[in-house]
A and B are shown apart, each in its own frame.
Chain A
Amino acid sequence: MSNVTNSILFKYATPQNFYPLAGKMIPWFWGVGALLFAVGLYISFFVAPTDFQQGEGYRIIFIHVPAAWMSMFIYLVMAMWAAIGLGLNTRLSSMMAQALAPTGAIMAFISLWTGAWWGKPMWGAWWVWDARLTSALILFFLYIGFIALQAAIDDPRRADKAGAILALVGSVNVPIIYFSVKWWNTLHQGASVSMTKAPTMATTMLWGMLIMALAFWAYAIAVALMRVRAIILEREAHTDWVKELPEVKQ
């Protein structure tokens, strides 16, 4: 059994075999994602009850919370792929890390932007120096640093490895940054708004949020796979198998 899984793993660890597999998987993730988005948005706009404190404006959390979750989770996944790429010298792992970074950055940006839209009616301010907001902003900076470093290095193998070290240093730092910002925030009580004591959520709201989170997952996977296919084509352009591809030949 383990031999079988191993051989499958090794087979699809090469870009040549993974490229068509990713191509087959992408439409499925788009399809599932579109379906989940439709259901999730329907629940969030029409089924979930109006919040008695926050009114209709609270509905933005159906976008905001999944995006914030994804932005944190993608960083971990990216660091994991980068570490595998660095440790085992597997090219595809590093390509996955590179493909995930822009999606993570977009998620961080969406969570900040929708957070501001939510904050203005709820708190009366576009931005407060709350611990979560500040650490989300710094997470966004970490993504930008990772993308900028990889873009500045011409040699892809060096870009992979340098990016991996940065991602690992970043992932060690993320919890330190989070707690330092949290303590900094409690020291300056002035602007803090506590979100930890959120009122219990209606079940439909929770369902809406979970379905939206799954939709974001499907979207992130589909986009990352599309990007990794583009990266494979770019990096393997000199190989015979790429030159034989129908989409390259024409």
Chain B
Amino acid sequence: MALATVDQATGDRPAPRRRTGFAGQLQAGSGLGLGIAVLWFSLLVLLPLAAVVVTASEGGWSAFWAAVTTEQTAAAIRLTVGTAAVVTAVNAVVGPAIAWVLVRDEFRGKRLLELLIDIPFALPTVVAGLVLLSLYGVDSPVAIEVANTRGAVVLAYLFVTLPFVVRTVQPVLEELDPEVEEAAASLGASRVTTFRRIVLPALIPAIAAGGALSFARGVSEYGSLVLLSGNLPFRTEVTSVRILSSIENDNLPAAAAIATVLLAISLAVIVILDVIQRRAVRRG
């Protein structure tokens, strides 16, 4: 039981991800279950992803490099990574603000805002594109027309990545005791100081974790751009669209090479997430 109490003590602070706790050894039945689960996971996820990397490397380094550095592909990768970075920076500011309003503010209709946050996660991406097009497309009622411009890519990324930072910061903010902030204020700390010294340090790991997810999602986005961005080469064509046109031209090695770049970015993001969270759990 000692193990369980230790785990509960550290469990007071919600670590955004799984920790290992009180684990038992595998028995015959659970061992078989693990075998089946890993086999299925390998056939569905690992083997296909390995096939992408292997196909990309079949032509050697020079073929890989040639495929990912054609002018059009390089422009697409730059646009994708640059826009995802900008959108993640926006989310790192807007996300905690939304989470703060949801946790600390009280007003009628707040539940509706909660629903709005989750809609981009559940809405089919192609429908998300159509949704944005109806307000920001041709004949925009607000006279902001971004269809077929780089603004469309920013808008689509902002839409699909909306929930990530909000939903990672929110539980941390809920656990944060307002009394600590009140104590700081009563000791003469200004609002800015209280925010900077008390609130922000507690939120940083969650913001980083949510930001990493939002960056990864932005970089890999495809569906919401199909109708919205026009996919103009050198202007609004993102990496996923480049991969798809290589597939449609039956040039699978080139598609695999560009896909490998995206996979490397995803993997880097997962590693960063893991490091941030380990650090957060240790500190807690």
A binds B: no
Give chain B's interface residues, CB within 8 Å of chain A. none
Give chain A's interface residues, CB within 8 Å of chain B. none
